[in-house]
Amino acid sequence: MTTMLAGGRRIEAAWHGPGPEIAPTLVFLHDGIGCAATWRDFPAALAGETGCGALVYSRAGYGGSDPVALPRPLTYMHDEGFFGLPDLLDAAGVRRAFLVGHSDGGSIALLHASRGGPCRGSAVFYSRRRTSSARRSPCARSRRRATNTSTPT
């Protein structure tokens, strides 16, 4: 994983396959308790099968991305779909995207698409049955860190 600057925040991200100047990009949006690592090897495998690039990232407040103030506002998914995701796509140079969202990530993809954002592609929604507890998630440590972040009142 590496980090990129998008919307003034450090965002944890990984790229697989061809760059955005060569091929469309699959953009993976994780669920509400996940992060980029939650996707494991699926993005690289899908990029290999489709010939697309794959951008996997952790939203602000998740994984290795910058923390956010908690509690989040009720509009946090709207904010991510309307502002955070477009900032990320711009920072990564994504020209044509196919959004692959799971749970909250699927909602964010829909919100982004509803505005006719710079996605210029399609939204795909991915769901799988969870068989392990949240404590075993590769993102549990980052959730604990975000939960323990205090905000001034």
Query: In the chain, what are the domain boundaries?
Result: 2-147
**Peptide bond between residue 67 and the one before it cis (omega within 30 degrees of 0):** no
State pTM to two decimals: 0.82
Q: Which two tokens stand for residue 6?
A: 């998008």
Question: 131 pLDDT exceeds 80?
Answer: no
**H helices present in the chain, as ranges:** 42-50, 76-79, 85-92, 104-114, 140-147
What span, in angstroms and rounded, lies between the C-alpha atoms of 122 and 124?
7
Mean of the per-residue pLDDT values of the chain: 84
Question: 5 pLDDT exceeds 90?
Answer: yes
Q: Which CATH number fits domain 2-147: 3.40.50.300, 3.40.50.880, 3.40.50.1820, 3.40.640.10?
A: 3.40.50.1820
> For residue 14, which of 30, 23, 22, 33 has the smallest C-alpha distance?
30
Q: What is the pLDDT of residues 97-106, one digit of tens each?
A: 999 999 999 9
Q: Which residues pair with 124 in a beta bridge?
A: 100
The upper half-sphere exposure of residue 27, i.e. CA atoms within 13 Å in the direction of its Cβ, equals 30
What span, in angstroms and rounded, lies between the C-alpha atoms of 31 and 47?
20
pLDDT at 133: 42
